[in-house]
Amino acid sequence: MPQNRFADVRRFESIDSTNRYLLDEARAGAPEGVVAVADHQTAGRGRLGRSWEAPAGANLLVSVLLRPAIDPGDRHLATTAVALAAIDAIRATGVAGVSIKWPNDLVDTAGRKLAGVLAESDLAPAAAADGQPPPVVVGIGINVNWPADESDLPPELAGLAVSVSQLAGAPVDREALLVDLLAALEPRAADLASPAGRARLAGDLRADCTTVGTRVRVDLPDGSFEGTATGISPEGHLVVDKPARGGDEERMRLHQGKLPRRDHAATFPGQRTGD
């Protein structure tokens, strides 16, 4: 393992969820940098109560504990840091054409999902053990060797998921991918701590995000709308232009949300930024 902040790698043959494990460790005072890797998860989680599927021994299921000393409004960039590090690591296997579907999916050129990122924070005072900044646990599931081909997929993921090995045309070494991921994450995690670094993360997100230029539907607590994603702000927010009355456009900046899957009706719970 690389001798950087991610040297403490804890491995599990089977666990409910590596994110759950690290959140509990964080509440007990664990420092930034602890990594949890599982061969299999019995309750791997996605966002909003969804689940993450991966058979034992095939894919990368990993979470990292970060404690960036940043405003709560910048913590979404922890997701960006891990997504960008994963793209770096996947590119190192020789696979090209992987991009970020805002905010937390890695997809191939056909829009099939290759990986998903889940960031979970605990801002309660108890989790800021010993005066450390509050934790954000960022987990990523990367389809490394599963699915081997389309026939591996359950019906609900048919045509929607793809693996690195499918794109590479050969099995991929999970351990090498983990080493590359943690090495690529070191400078990205360091970037979280400075304004210039955060601007770099947002700029790299802009370069690798294929959501910009597409039509999106946004569901907000006070109603939903369709608009066009026109950019990534310097803070890493998705900028969406919404048609307004009288032919004007209203510009909104979103820091979290869910874009519709390629062939699904749009549901997009979004959250407006504070400005």
Residues that bind ligand BT5 (CB under 6 A): 17-19, 41, 44-48, 50, 52-54, 61-63, 104-105, 113, 116-118, 139-141, 143, 157, 161
**What's the CA angle centered on 75, arms 122 and 231, to 5 degrees?**
145
Task: Sort 212 into a burial class: Cβ within 10 Å, 0-12 / 13-18 / 19+.
Answer: middle
Q: Of 70 and 178, which CB lies nearer to ligand BT5 in the complex structure?
A: 178
Q: Which two tokens stand for residue 231?
A: 């950019």
Strand partners, 231: 239
Q: Of 116 and 197, which CB lies nearer to ligand BT5 in the complex structure?
A: 116
- Rounded distance, CA 136 to CA 68, Å? 8
- Rounded distance, CA 254 to CA 145, Å? 33
Q: Are 226 and 252 in contact (CB under 8 A)?
A: no
Q: Of 44 and 236, which CB lies nearer to ligand BT5 in the complex structure?
A: 44
Q: Of 137 and 197, which CB lies nearer to ligand BT5 in the complex structure?
A: 137
Cα torsion angle, 207, 243, 261, 76, sign:
positive
Q: Which two tokens stand for residue 70?
A: 């940043």
Q: Of 50 and 251, which CB lies nearer to ligand BT5 in the complex structure?
A: 50
> Within 10 A of 115 (CB to CB), how many other CB atoms are there?
26
- Rounded distance, CA 78 to CA 249, Å? 30
Q: Of 60 and 197, which CB lies nearer to ligand BT5 in the complex structure?
A: 60
Using Cβ positions, the residue closest to ligand BT5 within the complex turns out to be 116
Residue with tokens 């840091």: 81
- Rounded distance, CA 6 to CA 228, Å? 38
Q: Of 157 and 212, which CB lies nearer to ligand BT5 in the complex structure?
A: 157
Q: Are 250 and 244 in contact (CB under 8 A)?
A: yes
